[in-house]
Amino acid sequence: MRDKQPNKWIYQSVYYLACVLIYTAVLLRSILFYKGTSNLSLIMGLLLCFLILFLVENAFSKRAGGWFSVYLGIQSLLVFLMIVKSNHEDYDYISLLFAILGMQVMQGLNSKVGAVWIGLFFILFGYPFIRFEGVREGVIRVLLFGSVIIFLSAYSWATSRAQEAHTQNESLMHQLQAANLELESHSNTLKQLGVARERQRLRRELHDSVTQTIFSMTLTTQSAMLLMERDPSRVGAQLERLNQLSQSALTEMHILISELRPEQQSGSGLAAELRWHIDNRHFPEGLTVSLEVDGDQALSLKDDQGLFRIAQEALNNVVKHAHATKVCLRVHLKEPYWIEIEDNGQGFNLEVVHGGGHLGLTGMRERADEIGWSLNILSTPGSGTCIRAEKNYPPGDTA
């Protein structure tokens, strides 16, 4: 975290350095051209007004939200007046002041509004070029000086978006730390209920999902920073990738936080607990989750807790891997007791999964064994998945 803060300082330094160089070039050029003429005092006065407004803009914008648009209008008028009052020899340099305004526009406004302002700048400095130098020469000048304005504005926009992405990255890191603290706060409860292994599983999920996503976000942010210097046109794709990663991290956080809820209270029942979980769990858009309950006989607290965790893990797998649009939980609370979780997702090859040692499915089998239930998994690629847990009965008993 320490080595990222200087990046913001570097971006601001480059921005102010560009502004100082442009303004200084215009100032010196104007002094040389208007020395000994009646226009010198007028141009110097307008340049001084431009500088004063530039220096106080940030302070006024924090106090009044609409000030920035007023500021841009006044500054644009000042630059246009300098172009009009010039000797038609210095207005090309004066038009570069619009590059300073373009950089401010892309830092202070969204891209669409910024594009409108930059289009207005093109009109204000393009009109004198075409009027005084003719259409052919004027268009060439507009393209030349306009490219400078667009490049600096695009650089300013890219750095601004990168800083916002960095801020979001830090916010997600704080959420990650908060989730870790919440995990720690529940450790005693998990130990009292004899599920210390659950705490280890959650930590593994936190590392394998959210931490890896945050790491990918960090790499994407650094890549965007490098592209801003080498190829600004590719920064947009990196920022879109960063947005996708942030959405994925938030989804993973919702999954983990929902699992931090303590075990269901005695007497609430498996059906009620599953219904509460479905109603309060964050599911991706486009995924419908339904619950069907047949019977009302009560199971033991141990069975309720084990089956709830099996169903919870099955839903996690659907969200993460199945790409399903529908999942149905069926609970049969009369003999023979069973529970099913079925989705219409992409399915998978059971032989490959068994060979790969997937911990989620292994954990469900272990939970079923602990409560004396059997677990069967039916899945084929492209045909969805059905996970069914059935209560085992001693030989001779009938269900």
Mean pLDDT of 316-327: 87
Distance CA 27, CA 39 (A): 13
Q: What is the mean pLDDT of residues 126-150?
A: 80
Q: Cα separation of 308 and 321, whole Å?
A: 20
- For residue 379, what is the enclosing H or E element? strand 373-379
The string of pLDDT tens digits covering residues 63-103 is: 555 788 888 888 889 988 888 877 666 667 788 888 888 88
Give the mean pLDDT of 139-159. 81
Separation of first and last alpha carbons in the chain: 61
pLDDT of 256 over the 70 cut? no
| Predicted pLDDT of residue 391 | 93
Which superfamily is assigned to 270-391 in CATH? Answer: Histidine kinase-like ATPase, C-terminal domain (3.30.565.10)
pLDDT of residue 215 exceeding 50, the answer is yes
Label residues 328-358 b or e (16+ Cβ within 10 Å = b): ebbbbbeeebbbbbbbbbebbeeeeeeeeee
- Looking at residue 358, its pLDDT comes to 56
Contacts 24+ apart (CB under 8 A), 288-293: 288/325, 288/326, 288/327, 289/315, 289/327, 289/328, 289/329, 290/326, 290/327, 290/328, 290/329, 291/328, 291/329, 291/331, 292/328, 292/329, 292/330, 292/331, 293/330, 293/331, 293/333
Mean pLDDT of 360-379: 88
Mean pLDDT of 48-55: 91
Residues in the chain: 399
Of the pLDDT bands very low, low, confident and very high (cuts 50, 70, 90), residue 198 is low
pLDDT band at 334 (very low <50, low <70, confident <90, very high): very high
pLDDT at 322 over 60: yes
- Kindly state the DSSP code that residue 299 receives in the 8-state scheme: P
List the chain domain ranges.
Answer: 1-262, 270-391
All residues at 6 or more sequence positions from 306 whose CB lies less than 8 Å from its CB, including other chains: 367, 368, 370, 371, 373
